[in-house]
Structure 1
């Protein structure tokens, strides 16, 4: 089953006042209008405060990152690194990512998750793809997810398996990795497709 997601897509420059804007509203989860109205009622400075993972309507927002890692092939095309969990019955492709610790920058969290989930350290940060706030019914929490773009530096295998390290809930899971063409990004878990058009516009 898909998680029921209701999202406000935020194209944001991290922590820069006045540059957080409401871009799109996805009315998927009934009862989410109150969240939207609360967001619209804030002035710019209040909105930036509340969208920086602090709170909304008295509820905490979990901060997460997703790392979109690309590589350039011998023929000049770009591919994106994706994985499936071998122990997961739901076989959507996903990208490395997870929670952002307190006082941790989004880019630092993404590098940590890349190392824990894929075993990679040779990645170069390229840019932010955007940030999204939504309600995830499966964990009954608001999520603020930062989508970040990285470029793998040097040779990387075409496919491999990795046992997840760290202290997260997925510790010990086995992830199977492979590369897909930019035009195949639609095969990702729908939760992660918010900003794939940004990647397609620059690297397809």
Structure 2
């Protein structure tokens, strides 16, 4: 069978909280679609675009944040749809925002993607071991892949 693979990126963005010095994770919720679960920034890789360039572009389009340093690549996961014979390969990265990054903000997505014009509400969250996200990114939200988020106070 011939499967089409689309390359995608996902961004785990952390920052140190100014008051506690503990790392927190950047999450967003859809302002106009409350039923959509919490998410991390990410999206598609354009033809000829490097993973890193796509990562920075998607972060900027979806959050307005620019030039965040990549700490490391966490890994990649494939999600296959047998009915359409399509596969999405999402590459997950860990990035760090500066400590002074706003605590909360809303951002209107720009760019050519399907999410253009949507409103995202961003906030920082210190996850517990019980906290999870939906989709493939949940595979990386753990002390093994993101020890920074689970350090003891």
What is the TM-score when the length of structure 2 is the normalising length? 0.86
Q: How does 1:67-82 map to 2 (within 5 A)?
A: 67-74=11-18, 75-82=20-27
Q: 1:187 to 1:195 in 2, by over 3 A?
A: closer
Deviation at 1:138, TM superposition (A): 9.6
- Determine the C-alpha separation between the residues in 1 that align with 2:145 and 2:26: 13
What is the TM-score when the length of structure 1 is the normalising length? 0.66
> Which protein is bigger by CA-based radius of gyration?
1
Give the number of the structure whose residues are more often helix, by fraction.
1
- Structure 2's unaligned 5+ residue stretches are none
- Determine the C-alpha separation between the residues in 1 that align with 2:84 and 2:38: 20
Q: Which residue of 2 aligns with 1:127?
A: 72
Q: Which residue of 1 aligns with 2:8?
A: 64
- Structure 1's unaligned 5+ residue stretches are 1-56
Structure 1: 4+ residue segments shifted above 4 A: 136-140
Report how many residues are paired.
148
- Determine the C-alpha separation between the residues in 2 that align with 1:166 and 1:136: 26
Deviation at 1:134, TM superposition (A): 1.5
Q: Which residue of 2 aligns with 1:114?
A: 59
Q: How does 1:19-34 map to 2 (within 5 A)?
A: none
Q: How does 1:33-182 map to 2 (within 5 A)?
A: 57-74=1-18, 75-136=20-81, 141-182=86-127
Deviation at 1:157, TM superposition (A): 1.0
Q: What is the root-mean-square deviation of aligned Cα atoms in Å?
A: 2.1
